Amino acid sequence: MTLLFFYLRESVQRCDDLHYSEPHPCIHPPSCAWSPLLEQGHYKKAEDVYSADLGLNDTVLSCAQHKNNVWPLHGIVECLKERNEETECKKFQGLLREALSKTDLPITSSCCCWKTV
């Protein structure tokens, strides 16, 4: 887990440090690839990354945030369910339902490259 965590954290940091441009330089943000942390039971670490990606704290510049993005929303809902945070989970489930209503494929994980089928 340590090496995986290092490489994921490094890729997220490098993406977040890119200069602002339109369109965004990363089509799919690397922070969404934290699904393995969920699978391994590291819910708080994954939740922190998803929170930052969604712009719920001040750790990521606003131009690198992905507010209401379906992937980190799915991830944060998974984390909150596993941690039995029912009140907060309901809030994010509403946001996730809204984001899912705008997709054209079934979303079953917090990353398009992880268990999408």
Give domain status of residue 23, yes or no. no
**CA distances, 117 to each of 4, 26, 111 (Å):** 23, 23, 11
Place of tokens 């984001």: 99
Counted domains in the chain: 1
Residue that wins the pLDDT comparison between 43 and 109: 43
pLDDT of 35: 66
pLDDT tens, 62-74?
A: 766 778 888 889 9
Cα–Cα distance for residue pair 78/83, rounded to 1 Å: 9
The verdict on residue 28 lying in a domain is: no
The domain of 66 spans 34-117
Question: What's the mean pLDDT when you consider all of the chain?
Answer: 79
25 occurs within a structural domain: no
- What pLDDT is attached to residue 116? 42
Angle at 28 between CA 86 and CA 19, to 5 degrees: 110
Is 5 part of any domain?
A: no
Vertex 64 angle, CA 34 and 71, to 5°: 40
Position 63 in a domain: yes
Q: Does residue 76 form part of some domain?
A: yes
pLDDT, tens digit (0-9, with 9 covering 90-100), for 22-70: 666 565 566 566 667 777 888 888 888 888 888 898 777 676 677 888 8
| Among 14-23, 67-76, 94-103, the range of highest mean pLDDT | 94-103
